[in-house]
Structure 1
Amino acid sequence: MVNLKFEWNKVVSHIPRRSIKFKIFLVSLLPTIALIAAAFFNHQYLTILGESAEQILSKNYKSIKAAQESRKLLEEIRNLFLAPVNRTERLADIPPGLVKKISDALDICRDNITEKGELELIDRLLERYSQYKKAAALLDKRKSKVWNEQEIFDIFAITAEMILTIDELVSVNEQAMERAEIETRTLAAQAQRNAVIFFGIIIVTLSSLNYFFSHRIVMPMIKLADQLSKIKEGSGDYPDMAIKADDEIGVLAGAFNQLFQRISHYDNHRDNIIAAEKEKVRQSEEAKVRFIADISHQLKTPMTSLSMSLGLLHSRGEKLIPEKQKKLYDTAFDDCSRLATLINELVDVSRLETMSQPRPKETLNIKMVITESVAPLVKQAEKKGISIHLDIPDNLPDVTIDSFRFPWVITNLIGNALRYTSKGAIIIFRAYRQGQRCYFQCSDTGEGIKPEYLPHIFDRFTQFSERGKSGTVGLGLAIVKDIIDQHGGDIKVKSRVGEGTVFTFWIPGSIKENTDE
């Protein structure tokens, strides 16, 4: 039987360097990498844009806040000067540090210059503030005096100019903030459009790459499946698949190539078996034809002899001398015995036809089975002066057998030994266990079998000269082998002419072992 097991060590030696799993992982990794890259660049772009806008707007906001604070302080000082109802009243005191706060606010505006023209406005404010500071200091020294119209007018004029300049400064920063907002919205919209375009390019590129790689991965499978679908069972025409991919598909194609080689060998082996079986059937048919001719001849001879003996006894029995009558009676008896043996052999033909049908098995004490099977043959052996010895251990385990057919094996082997063994000979039947098998051996010291007959000893409808002389047609051993085969065992024979014959057969020790075998 051809061994169909794959030589996986040869297949495994071609381990793929680039497996399908790795390729699929790479294909699935591309979108992830692209999305991460897109998210990273988009984040960087928006971060820079946000930081820039935040920095600009923060400085504008600080300038506006400081300008408004300085304006508030100027108005507060002006209101202090306007507090007296008439000119006879004394001027209000300017709180300490109030003028200094104006200077601090203007310093903040100077430190946050971001727009064009803002520097000029700050310089003008600082210049007016210097004048304002001197005027305020002069008024502060003359607190004991009442109104001085020129001094009051000068400080109010400076205050008005500074407020106007502050309003211009606030306006410049507010316009800058409005422009920054518009620019930010424009840049955000542009960034959004760029992101849409970028993601569109990524999606198209990834789709193309996915289709390309999927095609590269799937096409070898499709070609392999197409080649396999074209194979016809038992056609004997198996393809040699080209191994183009260095991955699992290549390994699979190599495995299929090895499988096809094995199947091709199996087909050849199967064809040889079928041819051998056909030849065996042909030979069996020819043997059956020869068997029918032989059995007809063997039936005809004793029938003719019996008919002649009985005819002579019937027509001339009274005239014959007693010795002649006895001889005719003995001849008729021998012919009847021979006919009975031939008829029993014909019964064995029907046994061959029913032997293929399985029967239930039982687990029995094999020593008891052998003893009961041999018991009917002991008296027959004693009549011929032959001794039958049984060598069966008492501790032999129970064996699972067909209780109907298996005893027939024992009786047939011992019966054959009795048939071909002379007076004074010994027949020994042994049973023993070796490993998981139960062995049985039937040996005799009879005539033996010629070497040219041994290869065909178990063939059906095969006669040898010794069997023909004994009045048998040669079916007993064929049935023995069929029964042993049904038990999952085997039988062998050794023989030497003039020294005797030994039949050895074995069967599994249990049903499980029989199934495994």
Structure 2
Amino acid sequence: MNLKKKILIGYGVAFSLMGLVVTWAIINLWSLGKTTDAILRDYYRSILAVENMLDALGRQDSGVLLMVMGDTRKGVSQYRENEAIFLEWLGRSKDSIAVKGELEAVQAIQANYGEYRRRSQLLTDMPDPERASLPETLKIYRESILPVFSQVKATCIELRTINEKTMYAVSEKARRVAKQTIWSTIMVASIASVLALFFSLVFAERLVLPLRRFVEAVRKISAGEFSVELSVETRDELGELALEFNRMTTELRRYHMMNVDRIVAEKNKADAILASIEDGLVVFDTDQRVTGINPAGRRILRVEPQGQDLLYCEQILPVRTVCEVVAATISSGSQPEIADDRRIITLSCGAETRHFLFSATAIGQKDQKLTGVVLLLKDITQLREFERLKSEFVMAASHELRTPLTSLGMSIDLLIEHASRYLPEREKELLQAAHDEVYRMKAMVHDLLDLSKIEAGRIDLEFESVPVALLFDNAREIFRGQINMKQIRLQIADVGHLPQVRADTNKIVWVLSNLVSNALRYVEEGGYIRLAAEMIGDFIHLSVEDNGVGIPAEYQSRIFQKFVRVDKQESGRTGLGLAICREIVRAHGGTIWVKSDPGQGSVFTFTVPIADPGGVKRKSA
């Protein structure tokens, strides 16, 4: 008997029992719920019929009173209309009879109502009721009609009481039965669980005992004792494993005497692992020369197996950024910090273009001389395509939502303008809440459209050479009134010596405005916001600093993602502003990040390329 059959036999009975118990409990509970729902539904229909009969009866009596008071035409019309309604609901009540006593109550209602109709004819059939005196008609109503009306009403209330009591009793009974079913199921399931646990312990012990022997043997082999052999006591998979283990130890003893064979085996194993990796792997020495490349890497970079050791990084990778990262890793011993979007490269693989995320890892242990760098090329083409499809879907959905939201907003505005004065205060508050939510949704839709256009590369950027001082001045003018009102100092560093940047003025000013607006919400009165810029390499680093409440550490890595808000209680915010900032900066070829200490303020920094990199002196980071 093999190991699989043993496991199936050991656990089959217990799991079958548990499955049977669970199935039985589900079937009973489902049947009980279905029956209870059906009964309660009938009672509810009966109660609803009685309520409507009482309502129609009351309106009929009001019609009779109108006839008594002399308004014969309106009274007869109201009486006839509600007479048909009463008879309709009386018929429905007959169709939903479900308990003892309900039939008698319905028959009593029918009989009393017939008498009520007959006596009401004394008024409706009077030859000239409008000439009859009021005392005379009132006397007919009090002595002949009112007692029968009260009797019909009393029998209707009695029918409703019967259904309510019966429905409550059935509900209580169903609850008790359900409780008993649950507890019985729990008890049987507990017994089955104990049995399953018992079988598990027994079979686990029988299975673990041979494995313990394997572990002990492996430990001896790890210590260099290759003469270990296991006794074969079973004919299942563990017995076969013991036979193979003994063969392995025999081979290990033979190869232990041949150190070269061990090295070759390790190399073959490493080559097999590299060959099985679907991502591209390229190994460089400290001179950036290729010393190894797996099949996936050769396929991606279109490198022939012959002569690969004579190639350098620049010869196989046309993207300069990758070789710069490899060189920096060789120089520092670790990969430099670089934004994720700058770690994505696009390569032509045959007839198609694919996207790869690269990373560099230094070869060599700590405190030892670096021997090379491993470059990993991970194919993310499907992820990029998924992002593109998602952006197109968001754009299409947002575009379709814009028109109905505009119509809804106009309708609510018209209601507020013309109808709010006729509404109670509670309805006014609901209408104003609807107004605020519609405009918040419109803002979110517009932000989503802008973000989707930017992500899809459909935004039109008008690049020009712009002084950094002009960008700061435009941002200051936008918030001049708010800053004075809140008594906050807006400090602008001296940036006149910096070169001009290549950017779309409106878009970069929008980014600055969004960052300043965020700072204004979290800076207390008397605080400050500082705009500064610095040239590093071919980029100008623009920063917005404040001494507000800061950003919690758990949000700092996610704050540029969509719909992420630090203060979830703050209304009117979509959580898309910083995501749009990130995409605008990316469209300019830059990056954006934040540094913040809770309680001490935040510094948002983004980069914009210099308009003329060749005409200025660069400052290294």
If the length of structure 1 is used for normalisation, what is the TM-score?
Answer: 0.40
Rg comparison, structure with higher value? 1
Identify the structure with the greater strand proportion: 2
Higher relative contact order (CA 8 A, sep 6+): 1
